[in-house]
Amino acid sequence: MAVLQWDQEVYMPAMGATLRAQQLATLSGMAHDLGVEKELGSLLEELSKSDSLNKIEKINVTETLRVYNDRKKYNTAFVIELSKTVSESFNAWQEAKRKKDFNLFLPFLSKLVDLKKKECDLLGYEEHPYDALLNQFEPGLKTKKVSAIFTQLHNQLIPVTKKIADASQPNTDFLHLHFDKNKQWDFSLILLKQLNYDFNKGRQDISTHPFTTGFNANDVRVTTRINENDLFEMIGSSIHECGHALYEQGLPVNDYGLPSGEFLSLAIHESQSRLWENKVGRSLSFWKCNFQTLKNTFPDQLKNISVQQFYAAINTVKPSFIRTNADELTYHLHIMIRFELERDLFEGKIDVADLKNEWNKKYNNYLGLKVEDDSQGILQDVHWSHGMFGYFPTYSLGSMYAAQFFEAAKNEIKNLEAEIESGSNLPLLNWLREKIHRHGKTFSADELCINITGSELNIDFFMNYIKEKYANLYSFNL
Ligand code: CO
């Protein structure tokens, strides 16, 4: 299924879509049937009672049994209805986005939300229906905890974004000159090599929405997107996806097919992409090493630009409509808006019909932006049309984990920033491999974070990093 999906995003001709959807539906049906087979259940039950298992084996059995039991909660009729509704919703969303009209998507989204509410009941929850959805992406995460983290984050981010808004903005014009597609492609390969992406275990292609897919630790593929009028779009997405891929290339390949060979959770996955993208790819150290190569690739466009000017330009903070193009700070305001809407929706506090108004109100309150049309507002993300509710918070949590992990790395790796400046990114990768990648799913996210940093997830690490970096870049005092 992963190979078919990868092909669909990267190479498949447009006319292939309908039958490809059918092929994928057939395979997911088969996977579901195999995954709920009685014999599998009784073998897992038997194994879970065995005393002969070591610690890792025990975790593999318990985790596989948990997934098995969750899968059993679905009946075939529900699975088919959900899958059909998702296909229809995705088509409706594409058309609605093209026509900039949320109303075309509304009836499909309503139906999908009703089904997802049913799914919350099927799966069960202790405190909040939305917990059931969060747990599909981030096992054990509670709505209450996300609310608390986001309230803290909101209160601390707003004063910083206000200070930045009052400061003078760096020149970013040179990032928007014309940058040849092929030359950008060549530079993206240089970036991947520089970051130790293993091309014997992967490849890069082009797609509209950059993504990483791992079939196993020995075949982890990335895509990037190239915008000839925005140089950092390729750079940012290449480094981001490379971070995801380094994680999967570092999973224990001998544990293929077992939880101990799989990534831990989406937030931890995102912590790896954000760590490389933001802590490395948006750092002065990294560009002190790589800016000359970039300049050699684009000598005319970057002729009079210093590395300091480049560093300032790629770290510009400015509220904007589109989440995926947002800077490191305002990005989280985009996520909070989506989280609050999803939470209120599943709590029954708001209705699908209220979403657009609520969305626009929040964009005005949090980002000071007046949404002019639905395609740059409520229709911008694909997630809801795929029925993926509970996914967005993992993006922000990933950044928070990244900041906390990177702080630990700086404490443990001698002269980490000097290493990066000299072009040596291997000490950091090896550290991540040792602390995170090789463990697969054998810890919970909380346990992993405590093991590495000595404490649970704490947004102070992120806020301290943000304050120091941006007070410096925008010359203000905090
Ligand atoms: Co990502």
pLDDT digits (tens, 9 = 90+) for 97-119: 999 999 999 999 999 999 999 99
pLDDT at 77: 81
Regarding whether 459 and 340 lie in a shared domain, the answer is yes
- 206: which strand partners? 224
Q: Which of 128, 156, 172 is the last residue of a domain?
A: 128
Which residues, including other chains, have CB under 8 Å from residue 72's CB and lie 6 or more apart?
36, 41
State whether 238 and 301 are in the same domain.
yes
Do 64 and 159 belong together in one domain? no
Query: What are the structure tokens assigned to 336, written together?
Result: 């909070």
Residues 198 and 340 in one domain: yes
Amino acid at 461: F
| Residue 308 resides in a domain | yes
Q: Measure 326 CA to ligand 1 centroid, in angstroms.
A: 14
Average pLDDT, the chain: 95
What is the 247 CA–ligand 1 centroid distance (Å)?
A: 12
Report the C-alpha gap between 278 and 427 in whole angstroms: 17
Residue-range definition of the domain harbouring residue 314 = 143-474
Same domain? For 92 and 230 the reply is no
Distance 215 CA to ligand 1 centre (A): 17
Strands 204-206 and 219-224: parallel
Residue 351 has phi, psi (to 5 degrees) of -110, 160
Query: What is the pLDDT, as a whole number, of residue 75?
Result: 83
User: Are residues 353 and 330 part of one domain?
Assistant: yes
Tell how far the Cα of 245 is from the centroid of ligand 1, in angstroms.
Answer: 10
- Cα 45-46-48 angle, rounded to 5 deg: 65
Q: How many Cα atoms occupy the beta-carbon half-sphere of 402 within 13 Å?
A: 28
386 and 273 assigned to the same domain: yes
Q: Quick one: pLDDT at residue 87? A: 82
Picking from 152, 137, 125, the residue whose alpha carbon sits closest to that of residue 457 is: 152
The whole-number pLDDT of residue 90 equals: 86
Of the residues 128, 156, 176, which one is the last residue of a structural domain?
128
Instruction: Mark whether 384 and 453 lie in a shared domain.
Output: yes
Closest CA to 101 of 385, 338, 377: 377
Nearest-angstrom CA–CA distance, 320 and 371:
10
Per the domain annotation, does 262 fall within a domain?
A: yes
Paired strand residues for 227: 230
Report the separation in Å between the CA atom of 273 and the middle of ligand 1, taken as the mean of its atom positions: 6
The CA angle 252-9-79, to the nearest 5 degrees, is 80
CA distances (Å), origin 66, targets 22, 33, 132, 139, 142: 29, 16, 14, 11, 18
Residues of the chain falling short of pLDDT 70: none
Give the single-character DSSP code of 340. H
Expressed in angstroms and rounded, the spacing between residue 238 Cα and the centre of ligand 1 is 11
Whether 97 and 239 share a structural domain: no
- Going by the DSSP 8-state scheme, the letter that residue 173 receives in this structure is G
Identify which of 196, 293, 186, 182 has the alpha carbon closest to the alpha carbon of residue 242.
Answer: 196
Residues 163 and 303 reside in one and the same domain:
yes
Q: Is 373 part of any domain?
A: yes
Distance from Cα 414 to the centre of ligand 1, integer Å: 28
Round to whole Å and give the CA distance between 234 and 395.
19
Whether residues 333 and 413 share a domain: the answer is yes
Closest CA to 201 of 153, 256, 138, 143: 256
Residue 136 within a domain: no
d(C-alpha 259, C-alpha 58), whole Å: 11
The per-residue pLDDT for 118 is: 96
Please give the helix or strand (H or E) that residue 107 lies within, else none: helix 106-123
C-alpha of residue 76 to centroid of ligand 1, in Å = 31
Measure the CA–CA gap between 7 and 223, rounded to whole angstroms. Answer: 11
Question: If you measure from the C-alpha of residue 47 to the centroid of ligand 1, how many angstroms do you get, rounded to a whole number?
Answer: 35
Number of domains in the chain: 2
My answer on whether 10 and 147 are in the same domain is: no
Residue 204 pairs in a beta bridge with 222
Of 66, 93, 128, the residue that ends a domain is 128
Distance 395 CA to ligand 1 centre (A): 7
Query: Catalytic positions, please?
Result: 241
DSSP 15: G
HSE toward the beta carbon, residue 412, CA cutoff 13 A: 17
Using an 8 Å Cβ cutoff, are 219 and 201 in contact? Answer: yes
Does 138 reside within a domain? no
Structural domain contains residue 227: yes
- Running DSSP on this structure, what letter comes out for residue 227? B
E strand segments, 121-246: 204-206, 212-216, 219-224
Look at residues 247, 211, 213 and name the one whose alpha carbon lies nearest to residue 448. 247
- Residue 270 CA to ligand 1 center (angstroms) comes to 5
Tokens representing 103 are 């109303």
SS3 391: coil
pLDDT attached to residue 296: 97
- 347: CATH: 1.10.1370.30
Inside any domain, residue 160: yes
Count of CB atoms situated within 10 Å of the CB of 432: 23
Distance 199 CA to ligand 1 centre (A): 20
Ligand 1 centroid distance, CA of 368 (Å):
26
